[in-house]
Amino acid sequence: MSQKLHRIVIVGGGAGGLELATKLGRELGCKKHAHIILVDGSPTHIWKPLLHEVATGALNTGEDEVNYFGHAYRNGYQFEFGWMKGLDRERKTIQLASVCDANGDILTGERDIAYDTLVLALGAIANDFGTPGAQKHCMFLNTPNDAEKLRRRILDLSFAVGTSGHGASKLTIGIVGGGATGVELAAEIDHTIREMHNYGANLNPAQLEITIIEGAPRILSGAPESLSHYATEELVQRGIMVACNARVAAVSETGFQLADGQQINAAIRVWAAGVKAPDWLANLGLSTNRNNQIEVTTCLQTQTDPNIFAIGDCAAAPDGEGRPQLSATAQVAHQQASWLAEALIKRLNGKAITPFVFKPQGMMVSLGKHTAVGSLAAVVGPKRNYYVEGRGAKLIYASLYRLHQAAVHGWVLAVLLWIGDKLRRVGRPTLKLH
C-alpha cells in the first residue's frame, strides 16, 4: 500500500530539512496519507548555528545530536542513508552515491530513490571566493566533522604553547568573516581558553591573539549599526582584534596576506566568510545563481520544475515583499520548513497555496557563555532599531535552540532534554577537554 502513496523525498537533514520531515511525518506519514523520506549522508543531525560551540568543546555532539534512524521511527518518516549525487527529472528519481565504511570498503552501491515531490534542503558551505591558498591553508566550519577538527587543533596548539616554557609565545588565530559565525566563534574561543586556564591549563589567556578579518566597514554588517558597535566594543574589551575594511588576497601556512600588503600571522586560520551551495548543485539541470543556489519562486518551487522545491541555504528565494533574495540563516530555513509543510499538505489535497512571505524575527549573536547581543524585530517590529545585550540577550539566544528542539522532538521531550542538560553540567566540566 505504501508504494501507492504520494512520495515526498526531502534531501538534507539540516534545520529546515529535519523540521520539514518531522512535521510531514507526523501529519502525513503516521496517518498513511503519504510516504515521507528523508535523505542524508550523515546518520545524525546537529543544529548548525551551534557548530562554533562544538568547535570549542562547549557542546558535546555525542549528547546533543539527533539520530535520524531513531527519530524517523518515532515520527512517521523513513530515513535513507547516503549522499545525493544525481537527479533524473524524467524518471523522477534521485541517485545516491555508494556508501563506504571507514576503510573505504563499499557497504552498498549506488541506488535510486523515486519521488513524486522532491524537496532540496542541502544547506550551504563557506565561500572562499577563489582566494589563493584558502582551501589548502584554512579550516572551515561547514560540518560537525569540521568543528571537531578545529576543536582538536585548538586543544593541541593550546597545549604546545602552554608548555613551551616561553611566556612570550602566542596562540594566534585568524578568522576571516565578521558575520555571526565569525564573531561567535571568536568569542567562544576566547571563553574556552579562559575556562581551560581555570581548569589548570598552562596557557595564559594573555597568550591568545584572535583577529577577525572583515572586508566590510564593520562586523555584523547586516545588523543595525548600534548592534555592531556594541559587539565590537565587547570583543575589543576581551583583547580580540577586529580588522575591518580588510580584504584577504591570499592565505599561506603562516597567515593572511591582505590586499593592502599587510600580513596577519595566524597559526590557526579559519574561513567563515560568505556562503554558497555545493558546486554539484549547478550540474543538476536546475536554474541556479552564481553561488550555486537553486532559484525558486515565491512558492519555493524551482523555476525549472514545479515538482521540485528548495528551502534553506541552498535556495535563492525571494522574500515575497520585493527584495530579491533571503539571507542564509536558520530563521529563514525554519520559517520555510513550517510554511512548506502546510503548503505540501494543501497541495496533496488539491488546494491552492499562497506565496511564502518571510517575517523577520531580528537577529541574535552569542558573545560567549554569559552574554549576547541582538535585535528584537519579532517583539518591537522589523522597522524599529532596538537591541538587547548581556545576560538577557544570551537567554533569548539559548531559547532559539530550545525552539528548534521543540520543533523536532515536541515540547515535552524538549523540556526533558533541557533538564537533562542542566543535570549533566553538575557532574562534568563545562568543556569537552579530550
Q: What is the CATH number of the domain that holds 46?
A: 3.50.50.60
Tell me the per-residue pLDDT of 229-265, one tens digit each, with 9 for 90 and over: 888 998 999 999 999 999 999 999 999 999 999 999 9
What pLDDT sits at residue 362? 72
Tell me if the pTM is above 0.85: yes
Residues in the chain: 434
What pLDDT sits at residue 380? 43
What pLDDT sits at residue 389? 62
What pLDDT sits at residue 216? 94
Mean pLDDT of the chain: 87
Is the domain of 163 the same as that of 250?
yes
Q: Is residue 135 part of a domain?
A: yes
Is the domain of 375 the same as that of 310?
no
Instruction: Give the domain extent around 6.
Output: 2-124+277-348
CATH code: domain of residue 414:
3.50.50.100
Q: Is residue 353 part of a domain?
A: no
Q: Is residue 302 part of a domain?
A: yes
What pLDDT sits at residue 48? 86
Q: How far is 402 from 415, CA to CA, in rounded Å? A: 8
Is the domain of 204 the same as that of 66?
no
Q: Of 316, 348, 380, which marks where a domain is finished?
A: 348
Is the domain of 95 the same as that of 139?
no
Tell me the per-residue pLDDT of 28-86, one tens digit each, with 9 for 90 and over: 999 999 999 999 999 999 888 888 888 887 777 777 789 999 999 999 999 999 999 99
Is the domain of 181 the same as that of 241?
yes
pLDDT over 70, % of the chain: 91
Q: Is residue 356 part of a domain?
A: no
Burial level of 267, CB count in 10 A (0-12/13-18/19+)? middle
Tell me the per-residue pLDDT of 257-268, one tens digit each, with 9 for 90 and over: 999 999 999 999
What pLDDT sits at residue 320? 61
Count of structural domains, the chain: 2
Q: Is residue 257 part of a domain?
A: yes
Q: Is residue 95 part of a domain?
A: yes
Is the domain of 34 the same as that of 50?
yes
What pLDDT sits at residue 1? 41
Is the domain of 120 the same as that of 137?
no
User: Residue 422: is its pLDDT beyond 80?
Assistant: no
Is the domain of 16 the same as that of 136?
no
pLDDT band, very low/low/confident/very high, at 419 (cuts 50, 70, 90): confident
User: Residue 215: is its pLDDT beyond 90?
Assistant: yes
Is the domain of 217 the same as that of 334?
no
CA 79 centroid distance within chain: 21
pLDDT band, very low/low/confident/very high, at 381 (cuts 50, 70, 90): very low
Q: Is residue 433 part of a domain?
A: no
CA 44 centroid distance within chain: 14
Mean pLDDT over 176-188 rounds to 92
Is the domain of 243 the same as that of 373?
yes
Q: Is residue 431 part of a domain?
A: no
Is the domain of 259 the same as that of 287?
no
C-alpha cell at 375: 535585535
Mean pLDDT over 343-350 rounds to 95
User: Residue 121: is its pLDDT beyond 90?
Assistant: yes
Is the domain of 86 the same as that of 108?
yes
